[in-house]
Amino acid sequence: MNQFSQLPPQMSTFAPDVDWMYLFLFWLSVASFVAIVAVMVYFVFKYRRRPGVEAVPTGHGNTALELAWTFLPLIVLAFLFHEGFRVYVQESVPPENTVDIHVTGKQWSWEFTHSNGITETNEAKIPVHTPVRLIMSSSDVLHSFFVPDFRIKRDVVPGMYTTLWFEATALSTPERPVRVFCAEYCGALQGSTNGNDRNTNHSTMMADLHIIPQEEYATFLREGGGPPAECADAVDVNVCWGQYIYAHNGCSACHEINGEAGGHGPNWMGVFGEEIALEGGGSVTADDAYIKRSILDPSADVVSGFGNIMPPYRLRDQEIDAVIAFMRSLNAQ
Amino acid sequence: MSTEAHGDSHFLQHHYDTPAQQFNAAKLGMWLFLAQELLFFGGLFVAYGVFRSWYPQAWVVGSHLLDYRMGALNTAVLLLSSFTAVMAVRSAQTGNQKATGNFLLATIALAGVFMVVKYFEYAHKFEVGFLPGSHFAPHGVGLAEIVEAARESGVNGVPYHLRTFFGLYFVMTGVHGLHVLIGMFVMGWMWNRNRKGEFSTRYSTPVEMTALYWHLVDIIWIFLFPLLYLID
Amino acid sequence: MTVEAEAEAAIPADPHHIPEGADYITHEHGLKSWLTTVDHKRIGVMYLISILLAFFAGGVFALILRTELLTPGKTIMEADTYNEMFTLHGAIMVFLFIIPSIPAALGNFFLPIMIGAKDVAFPKLNLASLYIYWIGAIFTLIAIVAGHIDTGWTFYTPYSMRGDNSAVWMTIGVFILGFSSILTGLNFIATVHKMRSPGMHWRRLPLFIWGIYATAVIQVLATPVLAITLLLLATEKIVGIGIFDPALGGDPVLFQHFFWFYSHPAVYIMILPGMAIVSEVIACFSRRKVFGYMFIAMSSVALALLGFLVWGHHMFVSGQSEYATMVFSALTFLVAIPSGVKIFNWLATLYQGSISLESPMLYSLAFIALFTIGGLTGLFLGTLSTDIHLHDTYFVVAHFHYVMVGGTVFGFLSGLHYWWPKITGRLYDERWARVAFVLVFIGFNVTFFSQFILGSRGMPRRYYSYLDQFQPLHMTSSGGAYIIGVGFVVMAIMFAKSLKSGAKAGRNPWGSAGYEWPHPHNFAEQPVFTRGPYDYHLATERELFTGTDEEWDAHMAKKGEA
């Protein structure tokens, strides 16, 4: 990113139109501001108070002048409204044959469900040069889906659907994915957090969009998603995949893996296979079945000493297996 | 003679030049107050309109669940009380201290009747579980009433947003009822000032302003009654 | 009893008659005499002290926020504490400081004097409004102490439905503050309509009064809608009536409509009085009647009316219908017209004037420059395509601070410096006033201009943490905030010194032709106005004399000798 650029990189078909308008307004503002301040400074200097020089009484004003500066700006304003509205209409009306992705905002993560039923959390594969429509809703409070690189934004509201569409114009790199922000204030986890942790409060409710070639997205829709590319060479692909999910889906916000106390949820190290006490009495063995239930329906059996604060996660069976494999591997350490 | 002059001299506050100026200022102030009251209730009416258009079935069933006879009785009571309020003003302007007091008492009594009727309406709804929003839990007689009301209005089942209807019903009539109570209190105060002989043919502004307020309370009910009880 | 005697008896003693040699501050002593006063000047002073305390509190919260934002991630506090801090900063600044600042404090003091009235129309109601303000402030304090208020000053549902009951306390506090505002507005409208002295016709009304009058109309007509909204919100939270909470079948977007139906007009409650002061100050320091007087007066009224029609521009991305968005965008552009008219007329007033640059004038000229930036950046936000990108980013934060601080607060400071000698009877040290001005002006621009760039680059607002790439701009912004802080400390010391040991002010230290100056405090007798408030060529030498009464006597004696 250019250090001195006022605007983020242009990654969607809307961006050039929006930026043109932005820069037009920018230079219009600079010109108006300089003119007004120059006149002001000139008058203040020219008519500074001097002995023996009286102010000239104002008289009855100048109706022609008043009407001119009342109505001439209207022309400029009408142009601004028209141009802004024109682009807005394009942004509001998606074309036919879009690729649809369902988005759910929840405190403090984003879920993307593709048409093949696969759900990605806090990241999503997006085909390049393809109109994509997002059908969005919230499962708790207001959020707002904001992608600066695309110049798009729309509130995500509980109890109703809002939509957004865009067409990405370039592939993203793994180092610099297209970042999604939440632009509507949605609170924070109470108490201590590491401020920079992803998905612990409004300011870290982020997701990464990976803009991939159309063929790659088509393959993904057909065959489903496997472990990420970085796990291809891992000793145990499942453990690597589980660790990837742990890091990218927001687990790490509450669950430590170092065996030390602290955190909003149970520590994962050394928990698998153990007998654990439950909130409200009773106990359960932390086996595969229990872990799976706790991911899909966290309120079912809450571990003693912890609040029921975890939202349900829609992971696929393979992903749950990977998470379990990762937890197991922590026991071995 | 001297006592009368003494009584009069108190009413013109030092910062006014003439009694007319003082009266006009008071009248303008009161009308502005009424304007803000209208906007205050206006918010409730807008909410009513919005939800009515979204959930018409709940609104139809809801209005059937309110007892229009009690509503009509209260409408008559309030209209009558507006009349007695006007008569109180008239009596004050003509210097009839005794009549002023009596008409004020009559207005307070009618307002009391309104509140008693309201009490019976509320009590019934609390009993059968027609409570606002999240507390909505009709049972026994209440359920039977809903079935009956739904049949009358041709709606299948119990509309979910009946709870919102009762939420708004309680807020709208509750805020209005609060205004009635405030009106009763102010009229009691006016009655006391009248008893002490503070009003005369030359000065009856407070009674007039109180009556203006009372008419507003009346008019708001005139809107609430058909909107909540009558319209299908 | 004779008619004359009766008429005499009908004029009661003036309860705040000020004897010769005393003034409104010294003629009665003790806390009780202040708390029970109905004198609009004393009430204005009590408001002034109250809002300055609120401004101090809100300012401290602002500095805490900017300190936290020095680094991404945790600097001095946790995320939830940060959320609480920005909520308190916003709520205190909006409801306890800016809205009552100019109308309730300076308006109370000067409105009756400037129209030749002895007091506002309803003095007791005026005192009651102050007490209501205090009660509302106590409720907001309870919200701070009793719990964790982190809803933002906008109380958006359903977020505000969660969490503890401090939101209810805050809501009730703001509800009560609203009635203080309504009653003050009502009082001012009645005063302007019914209490003007002979000769004070509408075309002679000082522009300060026009601005306060337009403000009062909005206060009376918009605030009740906020009141009912907050009442519904509190009821929703306590009982759950199902209006705003989607979990109960309510609609959060409806809440936003209700909220902004008040809170957009509230923006004009905040800015119109600032503009009103600028009109007074520019006329005085140019020694010239404001150019296009009726256009400035009517543009205030136009802004007040337009203010009611544009609330939807806060909701372009909220999910409201496209048609609503189109209409609100078009109407929003109309707001630029009366704002521009004011700026052009102020500039034209400078033309052929006799301009001096004392501190009140510096603040007013700064107002013009900063408000111009605030207004021009408003175009970015009214234009739909750019607003979609900029909405809820730091660009918006910078925009409204340019309008609310660069506009209203600079206007307020201009008025405070301008009328300080009238209120306190003392002069202040002009050199230190200018030092404070320079610090505040520079600090303000450093703080908020960098936020325009942050916003354009996609930095959303109300963020506790941010991407590393934004840190240089955030540090710049925080640095600016500290400069503002130092500026206000200098100003506070300067005013405190003036109170303690400032030179005695003459009746009219700026040589203004305004009606509020030539007489000590209120007019002793009901005046008959024979010239306009800006007719410098018609004012007498005595009226424009800037020195003290003693100096005037000396001046006349010298003239007599000559």
**In terms of Cα–Cα distance, which of C127, C149, C136 is closest to C96?**
C136
Share of chain C above pLDDT 90, in %: 77
C89-125 pLDDT, tens digit each = 999 999 999 999 999 999 999 999 999 998 999 999 9
C375-424 pLDDT, tens digit each = 999 999 999 999 999 999 999 999 999 999 999 999 999 999 999 999 99
**In terms of Cα–Cα distance, which of B76, B75, B98, B73 is closest to B87?**
B98
B203 φ, ψ (degrees, to nearest 5): -145, 105
**In terms of Cα–Cα distance, which of B16, A65, B77, A92 is closest to C384?**
A92
Query: What does the mean pLDDT of chain C come to?
Result: 91
C49-83 pLDDT, tens digit each = 999 999 999 999 999 999 999 999 889 998 889 99
- Which range among A284-288, C367-371, C464-468, C513-517 shows the weakest confidence by mean pLDDT? A284-288
- What's the number of CA atoms in the CB half-sphere (13 Å) around residue C425? 14
For an interface test with C, which of B2, B4, B13 has the most C Cβ atoms less than 10 Å from its Cβ? B13
A102-141 pLDDT, tens digit each = 999 998 899 999 998 888 889 999 999 999 999 999 999 9
Say whether pLDDT at C8 is over 70: no
Do residues A128 and A183 share a domain?
A: yes
Share of chain B above pLDDT 70, in %: 96
Interchain contact, C242 vs B10, CB within 8 Å? no
**In terms of Cα–Cα distance, which of C475, C465, C471 is closest to C73?**
C465
- The domain tally of chain A equals 3
Say whether pLDDT at B227 is over 50: yes
pLDDT for the residue numbered C2: 42
Q: Which domain holds residue B203?
A: 37-230
pLDDT for the residue numbered A315: 83
Which residues, other chains included, contact A191 with Cβ-Cβ below 8 Å and sequence gap of 6+?
A264, C78, C80
Task: Assign A268 a pLDDT band (cuts: 50, 70, 90).
Answer: confident
Domain assignment present for B18: no
Q: Which domain holds residue A21?
A: 15-92
Beta-bridge partner residues of C236: none
CA dist C466 and C462 (Å) reads 10
CA dist A154 and A117 (Å) reads 23
Q: Which of B33, B55, B167 sits opposite C186 (nearest CB)?
A: B33
Do residues A126 and A167 share a domain?
A: yes
B172 φ, ψ (degrees, to nearest 5): -65, -50
Over range A148-152, report the average pLDDT. 96
Do residues A82 and A132 share a domain?
A: no
Q: Write down which residue in A92, A110, A128 finishes a domain.
A: A92
Task: Assign C10 a pLDDT band (cuts: 50, 70, 90).
Answer: very low
CA dist C5 and B9 (Å) reads 11
CA dist B188 and B112 (Å) reads 12
- The domain tally of chain B equals 1
Over range A165-187, report the average pLDDT. 94
Interchain contact, B28 vs C194, CB within 8 Å? yes
Residue A155 Cα distances to A134, B219, C318, angstroms: 12, 40, 5
B96-150 pLDDT, tens digit each = 999 999 999 999 999 999 999 999 999 999 988 888 888 888 888 888 888 888 8
DSSP A168: B
Q: Write down which residue in A68, A92, A116 finishes a domain.
A: A92
In 3-state terms, what secondary structure has residue A275? strand
Do residues A104 and A212 share a domain?
A: yes
Say whether pLDDT at C163 is over 90: no
CA dist C420 and C360 (Å) reads 10
Domain assignment present for A9: no
**In terms of Cα–Cα distance, which of C458, C367, C487, C473 is closest to C66?**
C473
Q: Which residues of B touch C239 (CB under 8 A)?
A: 132-135, 167
Q: Write down which residue in A223, A244, A271 finishes a domain.
A: A223
Domain assignment present for A259: yes
Measured between CA atoms, how close is C448 to chain A, in angstroms?
15
Q: Which of A238-247, C19-28, C454-463 has the highest mean pLDDT?
A: C454-463
Domain assignment present for B22: no
Pair C434, C357: CB distance under 8 Å: no
pLDDT for the residue numbered C512: 93
- Which range among A142-151, B83-92, C147-156 shows the weakest confidence by mean pLDDT? C147-156
Region of residue C73 (left: phi > 0; alpha: psi -120 to 50; beta: else): left
Between B72 and A332, whose confidence is greater?
Answer: B72
CA dihedral C14, C17, C19, C22 (to 10 degrees): 170
**Do chains A and B touch by CB distance (3+ pairs < 8 Å)?**
no
In 3-state terms, what secondary structure has residue C406? helix
ipTM of this complex: 0.91
Residue C21 Cα distances to C247, C421, C520, angstroms: 67, 17, 10
Q: Which of A6, A85, A202 sits opposite C326 (nearest CB)?
A: A85
Residue C286, burial from CB neighbour count under 10 angstroms (0-12, 13-18, 19+): buried
Over range B219-226, report the average pLDDT. 95
Which residues, other chains included, contact C54 with Cβ-Cβ below 8 Å and sequence gap of 6+?
C92, C93, C96, C97, C137
CATH code assigned at A300:
1.10.760.10
Interchain contact, A85 vs C329, CB within 8 Å? yes
pLDDT for the residue numbered A310: 83
**In terms of Cα–Cα distance, which of A9, A301, A306 is closest to A149?**
A9
Domain assignment present for A129: yes
Q: Which residues of C touch A144 (CB under 8 A)?
A: 317, 392
- Please report, as a single letter, which amino acid is at residue C318: S
Pair C402, C448: CB distance under 8 Å: yes
For an interface test with A, which of C286, C384, C457, C474 has the most A Cβ atoms less than 10 Å from its Cβ? C384
Share of chain B above pLDDT 90, in %: 66
Pair C91, C170: CB distance under 8 Å: yes
DSSP C505: P
Over range B77-83, report the average pLDDT. 96
pLDDT for the residue numbered C19: 62
| Both tokens assigned to C205 | 């009304």
Do residues A75 and A162 share a domain?
A: no
Do residues A87 and A121 share a domain?
A: no
Pair C237, C265: CB distance under 8 Å: no
Task: Assign C18 a pLDDT band (cuts: 50, 70, 90).
Answer: low
In angstroms and rounded to an integer, the radius of gyration of the C-alpha atoms of chain C is: 24
Do residues A124 and A187 share a domain?
A: yes
Do residues A129 and A27 share a domain?
A: no
Query: What does the mean pLDDT of chain A come to?
Result: 88
Task: Assign B8 a pLDDT band (cuts: 50, 70, 90).
Answer: very low
CA dist C23 and C44 (Å) reads 15
Q: Which residues of C touch B44 (CB under 8 A)?
A: 228, 232
- What's the number of CA atoms in the CB half-sphere (13 Å) around residue C424? 21
Q: Which of B29, B160, B163 sits opposite C122 (nearest CB)?
A: B29
Where do runs of H (alpha helix) occur along C239-286? Answer: 252-286
Say whether pLDDT at C248 is over 50: yes
Q: Which residues of B touch C232 (CB under 8 A)?
A: 43-44, 47, 171
Q: At what angle do helices C322-350 and C252-286 cross, to 10 degrees?
A: 10
CA dist A158 and C253 (Å) reads 10
Interchain contact, B32 vs C249, CB within 8 Å? no
Residue C482 Cα distances to A185, C83, C443, angstroms: 26, 21, 7
Domain assignment present for B165: yes
Do residues A50 and A88 share a domain?
A: yes
Task: Assign C491 a pLDDT band (cuts: 50, 70, 90).
Answer: very high
Measured between CA atoms, how close is C271 to chain B, in angstroms?
22
Say whether pLDDT at C23 is over 70: yes
Do residues A53 and A162 share a domain?
A: no
pLDDT for the residue numbered A1: 41
Domain ranges (residues) in chain C: 42-561
CA dist A120 and A250 (Å) reads 12
CATH code assigned at A135:
2.60.40.420
Measured between CA atoms, how close is C20 to chain A, in angstroms?
36
Domain assignment present for B10: no
For residue B55, count other CB atoms closer than 10 A to its CB.
19
A181-206 pLDDT, tens digit each = 999 999 988 766 655 677 888 999 99
Over range A50-54, report the average pLDDT. 89
Interchain contact, C464 vs A49, CB within 8 Å? no
Between B113 and A305, whose confidence is greater?
Answer: B113
CATH code assigned at B59:
1.20.120.80
pLDDT for the residue numbered B16: 86
**In terms of Cα–Cα distance, which of A268, A289, A250, A287 is closest to A332?**
A268
C-alpha triplet A137, A139, A142: angle, nearest 5°: 70
| Both tokens assigned to A184 | 């509507």
Do residues A202 and A130 share a domain?
A: yes
CA dist C378 and C388 (Å) reads 13
In chain C, whose CA is at the least distance from the CA of B6?
A: C9
- Please report, as a single letter, which amino acid is at residue C312: G
CATH class of the domain at C42-561:
mainly alpha
